[in-house]
Amino acid sequence: MTAALFGLIGSKKKQEEMRPVVLPPAYHKEEPKEERVLVSWRAPGRPFKRRDKEYYTTIGAIVVLVAIILLFLKEWLLIAVMIALAFVAYVLASVPPEETKHELTNRGVRTGDKLYKWQELWRFWLEEKWKQKMLVVETRVRFPRRLLLMLGEADEELVKRTLKEYLILEKPEPTFMDKASDWLVEKVPLESES
């Protein structure tokens, strides 16, 4: 009874509601001896949107107001962390990303110099952020949990068709954190829509 209270043993109803796990096709394939590139493209390393003065002013005002409150509470470390995060936001919004080479091979997804084997990957889907297409690949490892590959000028259908041979095309349901962050971005915009 104690184990059920702490969630160690699920109830019978929960076990019946659980759907069967569908393994991606790559899970059943043997690793090839020789690596062969199936699709290759170059794209920016992350989504990028050039920001205007309003964005920097809004972030600066928020940081100053919260820093004043933290100053009265004598939270010096939190003030330093906030200033550091504001600096990171400034750098990410003002410096364009470098171009990165992405490859889909018969062994896995290679981005830059790192190869993620098909057995380490789970599913994929496509998203759009700031009018830029992005391929999202969910992994089985703890870090990184998701690979975000910008598509740039790549043929979207060719990439999707190639990935379907190895992974499941499935977009997960938004989590509470996804919904909360979307709500916050919608309700507290850092700049006006352009």
Q: ∠ CA(38), CA(173), CA(155), 5° rounding?
A: 25
What integer pLDDT is reported at residue 189 of this predicted model?
64
Structure tokens at 76: 């010096």
Give dist(CA 79, CA 99) in Å, integer: 34
What integer pLDDT is reported at residue 2 of this predicted model?
45
What integer pLDDT is reported at residue 192 of this predicted model?
62
What integer pLDDT is reported at residue 188 of this predicted model?
67
Helix (H, G, I), strand (E, B) or coil at 165: coil
Q: ∠ CA(151), CA(97), CA(91), 5° rounding?
A: 140
Q: ∠ CA(82), CA(88), CA(92), 5° rounding?
A: 145
* The 37-44 sheet, strands edge to edge: 37-44, 99-105, 108-111, 114-117
Dihedral (C-alpha) 64, 68, 69, 73: value to the nearest 10 degrees?
140
Collect all residues with Cβ–Cβ distance below 8 Å to 172 and sequence separation of at least 6: 123, 125, 138
What integer pLDDT is reported at residue 112 of this predicted model?
82
Residues of the chain with pLDDT under 50: 1-16
